[in-house]
Amino acid sequence: MAKKIKKIQDYDALYDVLRYYVDSMLKLSYRTIRYVGYEKIPQDGAVIYAPNHTNALMDALVILAMDRKAKVFVARADIFKNPTLARIFRFLKIMPIMRMRDGLDEVRKNNETIEKSVDVLRDKVPFCIFPEGQHQAKYSSLPLSKGIFRIAFQAQDLMPDMPLYIVPVGIRYGSFFRFRSTVRVQIGDPINVKDFLDAHSENTPQEQMNLMKDVLAERMQSSIFHIPNDEDYDATYDICAAVVRHRVEKLKSENPGKHMKKMDAYFEANNMTVKQVSQLKEQNPEKAQQLLSLGREASQIRKANNISLSSVSIKYPFWSRVLRALILILKLPYNIPVSILTLPIKLICGFLFTKLKDYAFRNSIRYLVNLVMWPILMVIYSIIAFVFLKWTWALLVILLLLPAPIVAHETYRLIRIIISDTKLLRNKELQDKYNQIRDIILEE
């Protein structure tokens, strides 16, 4: 009897066990992870997730951790050239896909990937493809590639009796480059592929693809904090930060009976500001130019002085700074030793960062280094503790060390924020720019 070939979507006990560790480490990598609209995910058929792509590996991990279901992903084909890495990626349920930049001859090889993707969907295993085709560390979007639609159309053709949905997903990070930031994931309205094709049956397949591309792009954009990727991007971003707290307070006062989560309120407030800037460009170009000039100047001054946008969006930076400084001082007897003991992780990350051209990979590197290095360091420190201390003290030391990477990073983060807040308080020119921005935006 011929041995059954194991498919990429088949159950793997080791993979299933490791998922608990991988998902747990992801949750520790962010202060908050919030999933919104999970109930929109269809349960009666096959699902293709279509997330925006802004933060390299972390995007896939955030989608994976949405629930306990195994999911199959695709990634650019060039990273599969090493046979060992290719086996690892297959174990991780990742398939290669060619991109147009690889050349037309290479793209034609995608037929095998499409066939395997269809097979995954027929088994009702969620499939995930980033339709933008590449990542961009911006609160914006890129044109969608055709791969996701080719897979969807072929899959629907081969399984006419099974509903197939493309589910837009918007991932919004508090920071693309800072570890222990926040992430908000919003599930958009699904596209029923069969219903869509039936509704546009008079169109050619190419026209159907273009129409669906427009619909998906619009639904993805509505699921994220979206700033148009033009020359006003940086200015608009700083304008949003300048007024977000004031706008959140106004939203809450106008909706006293509506309980809004902080991340949801910020999401709504920022998109309101982007919309307001866009309307101002159309209705009052002169005033819009004044506002955007202030935003550009504020952005340049802030970046030149290495001031974080989180300092800008805090309503009372002085008292915030005082409170944070007090917390830091009180925790120093614990924070200093754990920061020293986690230095190997920080040094390895620092070395690997020097090899990176794309900053968007930084959090992915931090995550992977912590994933691998901290268990190794814990074993080493546990052996040392039991050798030199009584077992009761050794056990206490081990328990205190378990959260060390998180504590250490929170210490660095707190110091960085205190410094940033202090710089903003001392920079009267920058404060004046933000006050002028608020006067213009909030009077509208």
User: Rounded distance, CA 76 to CA 60, Å?
Assistant: 13
Cα distance between the two ends of the chain: 75
**The two three-digit tokens of residue 179, written as one number:** 């570890």
Q: Which amino acid is at 116?
A: K
For residue 224, give every residue at least 6 positions away whose Cβ sits within 8 Å of its Cβ, in sequence order, or none. 52, 139, 141, 170, 171, 172, 186
Exposed / middle / buried, residue 212 (Cβ in 10 Å: 0-12, 13-18, 19+): buried
Q: Write the CA distances from 348 to 25, 70, 368, 404, integer angstroms.
A: 18, 31, 11, 16
* Chain position carrying tokens 């920071």: 175
Domain total of the chain: 3
Confirm whether 181 is domain-assigned.
yes
Exposed / middle / buried, residue 136 (Cβ in 10 Å: 0-12, 13-18, 19+): middle
Helix, strand and coil content of the chain, in percent to the nearest 5, comes to: 65, 10, 25
> Are the beta carbons of 80 and 89 closer than 8 angstroms?
yes
pTM of the model: 0.90
**pLDDT, position 1:** 46
Strand stretches in 282-415, DSSP E:
none
User: Rounded distance, CA 41 to CA 188, Å?
Assistant: 9
Confirm whether 392 is domain-assigned.
yes
Residuewise pLDDT in 10s, the chain (444 residues)? 455 678 888 889 999 999 999 999 999 999 999 999 999 999 989 999 999 999 888 999 999 999 989 999 988 777 778 888 788 888 889 888 765 555 555 556 667 778 888 889 988 999 999 999 888 999 999 999 888 998 899 889 888 889 999 999 999 999 988 889 999 999 999 999 999 999 999 999 999 999 999 999 999 999 999 999 999 999 999 999 999 988 988 888 877 767 778 889 899 999 999 999 999 999 999 999 999 999 999 999 999 999 999 888 876 556 766 787 888 888 889 999 999 999 999 999 999 999 888 888 899 999 999 999 999 999 999 999 999 999 999 999 999 999 999 999 988 888 888 889 889 989 999 999 999 999 999 875
Confirm whether 377 is domain-assigned.
yes
SS3 labels along 243-257: HHHHHHHHHHHHCCC
> Are the beta carbons of 113 and 8 closer than 8 angstroms?
no
In the listed set 192, 221, 250, which residue is the last one of a domain according to the structure?
A: 221
**The two three-digit tokens of residue 131, written as one number:** 């339709």
Same structural domain, 336 and 300 = no
> Can you count the helices (H) and strands (E) in the chain?
18, 8
Confirm whether 436 is domain-assigned.
no
Same structural domain, 290 and 405 = no
Same structural domain, 174 and 25 = yes
In the listed set 196, 221, 246, which residue is the last one of a domain according to the structure?
A: 221
Cα–Cα–Cα angle for 196, 199, 200, nearest 5°? Answer: 90
Same structural domain, 328 and 388 = yes
Same structural domain, 147 and 34 = yes
Same structural domain, 279 and 238 = yes
Task: Give the chain's length.
Answer: 444
Same structural domain, 29 and 103 = yes
Tell me the CATH number at 186.
3.40.1130.10
User: Rounded distance, CA 323 to CA 330, Å?
Assistant: 11
**pLDDT, position 307:** 94
Confirm whether 432 is domain-assigned.
no
Same structural domain, 264 and 290 = yes
For residue 165, which of 217, 130, 124, 206 has the smallest C-alpha distance? Answer: 124
For residue 222, which of 149, 284, 271, 266 has the smallest C-alpha distance? Answer: 271
Q: What is the DSSP letter of 235?
A: H
- CA atoms lying within 13 Å on the CB side of residue 428: 0
Same structural domain, 33 and 170 = yes
Confirm whether 228 is domain-assigned.
no
- Domain residues for the domain of 328 are 317-426
Confirm whether 1 is domain-assigned.
no
Same structural domain, 79 and 169 = yes
**pLDDT, position 56:** 86
Same structural domain, 254 and 350 = no
User: Rounded distance, CA 296 to CA 305, Å?
Assistant: 14
For residue 298, which of 441, 139, 141, 140 has the smallest C-alpha distance? Answer: 441
Confirm whether 383 is domain-assigned.
yes
Same structural domain, 298 and 325 = no
